[in-house]
Chains A and B, each alone.
Chain A
């Protein structure tokens, strides 16, 4: 199967700082990537759809100025949490859409644990 990586795997930052999380598709090109947020013992909530070369599409209730998404290449999407606060602490997961051979499957990264102090 296809491999998606995330970096960093965990990060601790002070309130008010910005944090960037990278999502890479390692062995395929992904024109579409997705960013999810997972709270403890809860499901994944889609935050936004990241499209290579165009603006991200945010889900209702997600602040686009708070969560900046950049999909600058076919293998890399970044999520920047700006002016982070403790309520932004969460597990952030990305996925990349693999459309090779008509399979059209989402492959998930291992996630990034963000803790804002």
Chain B
């Protein structure tokens, strides 16, 4: 079946540290890949996406590259801020815009 595996959290970093949140997937076809972010008390927001192999999604200093050979879509940011503290979800969709399969979510805590 289709599934997404994320690294377990919480991840605790100091401000300006480098961030990596690992995400790997299993899919029967060629999925589109997404990172969503959920800030405290808010709904999920699309952070970035990639629809085919080797695509790089980027937004707000975050980026992730669709790696077909390793079935991965790791999220990275060079310098995190306290305001980046949130829950990050990796997700896939086998048909762009269609139903999403989510990973378990990774809590990120950034300390000043």
Contacts and interface: CB of A to CB of B under 8 A. Distances in A.
Interface in A77-105: 93, 95, 97, 99, 104-105
Contacts of B29: none
A95 B100 CA distance: 10
B102 A105 contact: no
Given A43-B102, A43-B103, A44-B102, A106 B97 contact: yes
Interface residues of A toward B: which range?
A: 20 to 34
A110 B101 CA distance: 18
Contacts of A44: 44, 89, 100, 102
Interface residues of B, number: 18
Contacts of A95: 44, 100
B43 A110 contact: yes
B105 interface: yes
Contact of B89 (A4, A43, A109, A110): A43
Nearest to A3: B43
Contacts of B36: 108
B53 interface: no
B99 A111 contact: no
Interface string B30-42: 0000001000011
A9 to B, nearest CB: 9
B49 to A, nearest CB: 8
A33 to B, nearest CB: 11
B96 interface: yes
Interface string A28-53: 00000010000000111110010000
Interface of B: 36, 41-46, 49, 89, 96-97, 99-105
What 6 A-B pairs come out closest when comparing CB atoms?
A: A104-B97, A108-B44, A110-B43, A108-B43, A43-B102, A43-B104
Interface of A: 1, 4, 6, 34, 42-46, 49, 93, 95, 97, 99, 104-111
